[in-house]
């Protein structure tokens, strides 16, 4: 990987003197950025550009070149890649298009590249991309024009599935004076994908922040495994949101687990920051250029009361708390001003004071407050005050570093003035208070929650031997067997009894107490309510016999093969929940939690966890559903046993991790009882594979 970004020699295939030739543009970029290594060029027509001869015979390519760059017609690429292999060129960037993204027929051509690379041990980027950049080394390989005066070298490296989006990020980060270190246009990700480069950039000392634009993730399981060990902020702009399939899944969990919800859960679980716009990506990069926000207490200082009110609204929106200033702070601040000039509260309104020299002193006094975790400074000034205002920015930067607390600066002035300040100082400037507060919230959540989310210890135990005996030799489980697995996983189940077809249900009722529920038992993956396979509130023996005949008749009409029925004591609880699991094609097993019952697919109020996960993430799953308040005490309902819900989620996670042959699982409903009383499952469905 190192020779991709730090090659001592490069050969560009597809260079000609013709105006607009893409290979010529690549070589021009290398020369403008003063790439210090040796540059070779190839074209079957030969010629001379930039005073250097173009090699016209592939056999004349010198052996052992560190990096090959191919920008030739797609049909010629396999031969050139073969030449690279024979010449010992082990790192290649393929920018040519016209492969699998072009047509189904061209996928075979792309596979040919894979086979050649495997034969010679080549790793390549692309095809169908803009190539790579390392501004530190002057390695600028896109086939579009780049100019040093328009780009800035900095600590942020970009992985982008879109070349165009990637260039936009380079422009934006350069304009904001943050700067870019490395850039990869991933293209078709045929040989090297986002996870390969994520792993490399995590170890790269020049990269401090990793920004990613993805339309899809190639290998979710490996992405999760590598992501757990990344120790730098990762900002992900994930687009292409939608369902992976229109097929109707057999379980609630599978049908609810659309791609984007799972991706969102995976990124959160890793502590990666997900954004949905280019502007949010840049603001997240800005805040990670500041010291970390390690708490929830914030101060706002503003030269305008109205701007302070707008910022205060954002404080609530992003879950911050306005810190109370200490008496010592207020006394110290009052020394700098005439009586009644400022209102000594938070937000601190500086009013019409134009002594910019005092602002740094006030900011420093604020940062000294032990209960202040971060500060938003709203700097409003006219164009006539520009010269005396600008020197405040480097002072703010120095204070932020001195006290190791973030200061989010928002400047309100003319557009030209704001642009000038951004260009003058390598300190992030935000465009409005909401951007600043949202960015600080990103920093807070990253530093406070990521370490806990990454703690994947699961203390729950399950009866593995019993579960193994139930699953052994089975292709599918019926309702009784599914409930037995749930019980063996440590989740209580409402008392039940099985009645085989043709038997007297009264004789099999045993010690069950009325009222009872009756459910059809079948190995088929059916929703029982859809075939009349569930009857509730059976109150006595006479009603039991009548309903038994009714449910058997319903089953026969539906054509569903069945073994009998399950009798089960009914549970009194208003809190119906669902806990499920499903093997996701991309990430492996996931666990679902949400409000249950027959309306679960209507409201879709669910959260997800990628297996494995620990207690903190299970807590997050519970609190992340919109209906969470239903689990807290309300009206005459006591608080639900949230601890028991959490343990049940963790036990299902342990179950599917231990027994990966479980492809789909629904416990719906599982009833939450009052605090200290636990939970009770009344239905379960397990599909093996």
Q: What is the pLDDT of residues 302-336, one digit of tens each?
A: 988 889 999 999 999 999 999 998 888 888 777 76
Number of domains the chain contains = 4
Domain annotation covers residue 292:
yes
User: Does position 558 have pLDDT exceeding 90, yes or no?
Assistant: no
Domain annotation covers residue 465:
no
Please state, in angstroms and rounded to a whole number, the distance separating the CA atoms of residues 550 and 542.
13
Domain annotation covers residue 672:
yes
Least confident of 40-49, 351-360, 555-564: 351-360
Let me know: does 474 contact 354? Beta carbons within 8 Å.
Answer: no
If asked whether residues 214 and 362 sit together in one domain, one would say: no
Q: What is the CATH number of the domain that holds 436?
A: 3.40.50.261
If asked whether residues 517 and 554 sit together in one domain, one would say: yes
**Residue 201's domain spans which residues?**
2-240
If asked whether residues 35 and 145 sit together in one domain, one would say: yes
Q: What is the CATH number of the domain that holds 588?
A: 3.30.470.20
Domain annotation covers residue 266:
no
Average pLDDT over residues 10-25: 95
Please state, in angstroms and rounded to a whole number, the distance separating the CA atoms of residues 349 and 303.
6
Please state, in angstroms and rounded to a whole number, the distance separating the CA atoms of residues 115 and 177.
43
Please state, in angstroms and rounded to a whole number, the distance separating the CA atoms of residues 650 and 643.
11
If asked whether residues 581 and 562 sit together in one domain, one would say: no
pLDDT of residue 249: 36
Percentage of residues in the chain with pLDDT exceeding 90?
A: 78
If asked whether residues 526 and 388 sit together in one domain, one would say: no
Angle at CA of residue 550, ends 546 and 551, nearest 5°: 120
Residue 363 vs residues 62, 191, 266, 320, 407: alpha-carbon distances, Å: 61, 51, 39, 19, 9
Domain edge (last residue) among 388, 419, 453: 453
Domain edge (last residue) among 223, 240, 257: 240
Domain annotation covers residue 267:
no
Domain annotation covers residue 536:
yes
Q: What is the CATH number of the domain that holds 546?
A: 3.30.1490.20
If asked whether residues 200 and 302 sit together in one domain, one would say: no
Domain annotation covers residue 254:
no
pLDDT of residue 334: 75
* Listed ranges 305-309, 388-392, 646-650; the one with the highest mean pLDDT: 646-650
34-65 CB burial, b ≥16 within 10 A, e <16: ebebebbbbbeeebebeeeebbeebeebeeeb
User: Does position 427 have pLDDT exceeding 80, yes or no?
Assistant: yes
If asked whether residues 612 and 565 sit together in one domain, one would say: no
pLDDT of residue 202: 97
If asked whether residues 603 and 562 sit together in one domain, one would say: no
pLDDT of residue 247: 41
If asked whether residues 53 and 176 sit together in one domain, one would say: yes
pLDDT of residue 533: 87
User: What proportions of the chain, in percent to the nearest 5, are helix, strand and coil?
Assistant: 40, 20, 40
If asked whether residues 323 and 418 sit together in one domain, one would say: yes
User: Does position 456 have pLDDT exceeding 60, yes or no?
Assistant: yes
User: Does position 342 have pLDDT exceeding 60, yes or no?
Assistant: no
Tens of pLDDT, residue by residue over 368-382, are: 999 999 999 999 988
If asked whether residues 80 and 225 sit together in one domain, one would say: yes
If asked whether residues 404 and 347 sit together in one domain, one would say: yes
Tens of pLDDT, residue by residue over 461-481, are: 999 999 999 999 888 899 999
Indicate the helix (H) or strand (E) that contains 663. Answer: strand 662-672
pLDDT of residue 599: 60
User: Does position 48 have pLDDT exceeding 70, yes or no?
Assistant: yes
Selected residue with higher pLDDT from 207 and 242: 207
pLDDT of residue 260: 84
Please state, in angstroms and rounded to a whole number, the distance separating the CA atoms of residues 68 and 102.
23
pLDDT-derived band of residue 252, with 50, 70 and 90 as boundaries?
very low
DSSP 343: B
Phi then psi for residue 538, to 5 deg, are: -80, 120
Tens of pLDDT, residue by residue over 101-150, are: 878 888 899 999 999 999 999 999 999 999 999 999 999 999 999 999 99
Tens of pLDDT, residue by residue over 480-530, are: 999 999 999 999 999 999 999 989 999 999 899 999 999 999 877 666 777
Q: What is the CATH number of the domain that holds 49?
A: 3.40.50.720
Least confident of 139-153, 337-351, 399-413, 672-686: 337-351
Exposed/middle/buried for residue 588 (C-beta within 10 Å: 0-12, 13-18, 19+) = middle
Domain annotation covers residue 339:
yes
pLDDT-derived band of residue 425, with 50, 70 and 90 as boundaries?
very high
Please state, in angstroms and rounded to a whole number, the distance separating the CA atoms of residues 418 and 425.
11
């Amino acid at each position: 990987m190192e020779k991709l970004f730090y090659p001592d020699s490069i050969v560009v295939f597809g260079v000609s003197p013709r105006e607009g030739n893409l290979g010529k543009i690549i070589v021009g970029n290398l020369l403008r950025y003063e790439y210090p290594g040796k540059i070779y060029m190839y074209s079957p027509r030969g010629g001379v550009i930039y005073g250097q001869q173009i090699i016209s015979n592939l056999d004349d390519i010198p052996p052992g070149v560190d990096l090959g760059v191919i920008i030739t017609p797609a049909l010629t690429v396999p031969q050139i890649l073969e030449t690279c292999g024979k010449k010992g060129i082990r790192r290649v960037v393929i920018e040519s298009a016209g492969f699998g993204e072009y047509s189904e027929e061209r996928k075979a051509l792309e596979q040919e590249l894979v086979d050649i690379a495997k034969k010679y041990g080549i790793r390549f980027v692309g095809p169908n991309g803009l190539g790579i950049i390392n501004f530190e080394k002057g390695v600028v390989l896109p086939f579009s024009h780049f100019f040093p005066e328009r780009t800035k070298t900095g600590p942020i490296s970009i992985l982008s599935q879109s070349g165009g989006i990637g260039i936009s990020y380079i422009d934006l980060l350069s304009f904001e004076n943050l700067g870019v270190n490395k850039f990869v246009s991933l293209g078709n990700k045929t040989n090297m994908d986002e996870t390969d480069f994520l792993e490399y950039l995590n170890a790269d000392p020049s990269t401090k922040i990793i920004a990613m634009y993805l339309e899809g993730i190639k290998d979710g399981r490996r992405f999760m495994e590598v992501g757990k060990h990344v120790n730098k902020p990762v900002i992900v702009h994930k687009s292409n949101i939608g369902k992976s399939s229109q097929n109707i899944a057999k379980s609630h969990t599978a049908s609810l687990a659309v791609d984007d919800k799972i991706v969102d859960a995976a990124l959160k679980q890793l502590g990666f920051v997900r954004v949905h716009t280019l502007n949010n990506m840049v603001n997240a990069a800005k805040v990670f250029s500041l010291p970390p926000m390690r708490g929830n207490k914030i101060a706002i200082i503003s030269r305008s009361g109205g701007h302070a009110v707008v910022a205060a609204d954002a404080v609530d929106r992003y879950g911050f708390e306005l810190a109370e200033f200490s008496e010592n702070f207020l006394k110290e601040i009052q020394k700098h001003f005439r009586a009644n000039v400022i209102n000594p509260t938070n937000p601190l309104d500086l009013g019409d004071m134009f002594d910019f020299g005092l602002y740094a002193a006030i900011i420093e006094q604020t940062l000294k407050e032990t209960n202040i975790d971060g500060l938003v400074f709203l700097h409003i000034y006219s164009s006539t005050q520009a010269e005396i205002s600008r020197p405040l920015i480097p002072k703010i930067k120095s204070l932020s570093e001195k006290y190791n607390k973030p200061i989010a600066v928002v400047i309100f002035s003319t557009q030209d003035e704001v642009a000038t300040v951004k260009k003058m100082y390598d300190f992030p400037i935000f465009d409005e208070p909401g951007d600043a507060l949202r960015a600080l919230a990103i920093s807070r959540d990253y530093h406070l929650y990521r370490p806990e989310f990454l703690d994947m210890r699961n203390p729950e135990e399950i009866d593995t031997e019993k579960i193994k005996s139930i699953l052994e030799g089975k292709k599918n489980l019926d309702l009784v067997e599914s409930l037995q697995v749930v019980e063996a996983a440590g989740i209580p189940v409402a008392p039940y009894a099985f009645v085989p077809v043709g038997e007297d249900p009264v004789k099999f009722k045993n010690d069950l107490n009325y009222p009872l529920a009756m459910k059809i038992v079948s190995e088929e993956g059916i929703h029982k309510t859809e075939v009349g396979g569930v009857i509730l509130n059976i109150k006595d023996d006479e009603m039991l016999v009548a309903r038994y005949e009714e449910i058997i008749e319903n089953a026969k009409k539906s054509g569903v093969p069945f073994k009998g029925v399950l009798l089960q004591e009914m549970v009194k609880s208003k809190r119906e929940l669902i806990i499920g699991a499903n093997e996701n094609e991309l990430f492996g097993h996931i666990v679902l939690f949400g409000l249950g019952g027959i309306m679960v697919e209507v409201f879709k109020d669910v959260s997800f966890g990628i297996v494995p996960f620990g207690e903190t993430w299970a807590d997050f799953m519970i609190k992340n559903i919109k209906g969470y308040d239903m689990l807290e005490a309300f009206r005459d309902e006591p608080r639900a046993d949230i601890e028991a819900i959490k343990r049940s989620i963790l036990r299902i996670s342990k179950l599917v991790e231990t027994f990966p042959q479980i492809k789909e699982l629904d416990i719906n409903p599982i009833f939450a009882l009052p605090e200290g009383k636990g939970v009770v499952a009344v239905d379960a469905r397990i599909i093996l594979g």
